[in-house]
């Protein structure tokens, strides 16, 4: 599971004309979508100032945690590499594990999506990641630890979770 979100979006929307906000947001969406598709991920949603993607379904591959991490890092790097007048500050979260993948809803409205604790953990990690930061769950870190042997660990209390979790910081502003 991958979540990426713009930091300070409400302030940005207050300061800039709507057309400039939409232009920046569309640039972010394009970068995020391309990065997810490039690594065979599924773009689940573009909501507000956030992109949500997942890997490993409908096509399952053993390297899906690595692809999610690579995607998050690519998005962070691409956003940071833009002209400062067009940059947006982004935070990201990635978690790995089991989840329901399929259609939810009723006969009138359905949505192909993922649901489960893994999704919630990724969303919560993204919510507390700082600008330019990628937080990953320990399950995800186990798949990429050799690439990031000294990634700092953080003990985090996540909203709605009974126990704290350990997350790793793979990118930091």
Using an 8 Å Cβ cutoff, are 121 and 2 in contact? no
**Residue-level pLDDT at 93:** 97
What element of type H or E holds 3?
Answer: strand 2-7
d(Cα 95, Cα 145) in Å, to the nearest integer? 14
Task: Please spell the DSSP secondary structure of 34-65, one letter per residue.
Answer: HHHHHTT-EEEEEETTEEEEE-SSSS--TTHH
pLDDT in tens, 110-145: 999 999 999 999 999 999 999 999 999 999 999 999
pLDDT in tens, 74-91: 999 999 888 777 778 999
**Residue in 64, 69, 78 with CA at minimum distance from that of residue 32:** 78
Q: How confident is the model at residue 172 (pLDDT cuts 50, 70, 90)?
A: low
Q: Write down the pTM of the prediction.
A: 0.92
**Domains by residue range for the chain, with CATH:** 2-171 (3.30.70.1230)
CA quadruple 154, 145, 75, 30: dihedral sign: negative
Q: How confident is the model at residue 35 (pLDDT cuts 50, 70, 90)?
A: very high
- pLDDT of 161 higher than 90: no
Q: Which two tokens stand for residue 152?
A: 């700092």
Q: How confident is the model at residue 33 (pLDDT cuts 50, 70, 90)?
A: very high
């Amino acid at each position: 599971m991958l979540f990426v979100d713009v930091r300070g979006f409400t302030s940005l929307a207050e300061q800039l004309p709507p057309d400039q906000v939409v232009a920046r947001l569309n640039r972010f969406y394009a970068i995020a979508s391309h990065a997810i598709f490039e690594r065979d991920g599924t773009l689940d949603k573009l909501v507000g100032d956030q992109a949500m993607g997942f890997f490993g379904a409908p096509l399952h591959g053993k390297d899906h945690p690595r692809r999610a991490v690579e995607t998050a890092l690519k998005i962070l790097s691409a956003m940071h590499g833009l002209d400062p007048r067009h940059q947006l500050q982004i935070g990201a979260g990635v978690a790995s594990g089991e989840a329901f993948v399929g259609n939810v809803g009723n006969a009138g409205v359905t949505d192909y999506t993922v649901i489960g604790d893994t999704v919630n953990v990724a969303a919560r990690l993204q919510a507390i990641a700082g600008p330019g930061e990628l937080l990953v769950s320990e399950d995800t870190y186990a798949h990429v630890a050799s690439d990031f042997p000294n990634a700092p660990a953080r003990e985090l209390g996540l909203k709605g979770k009974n126990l704290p979790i350990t997350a790793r910081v793979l990118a930091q502003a």
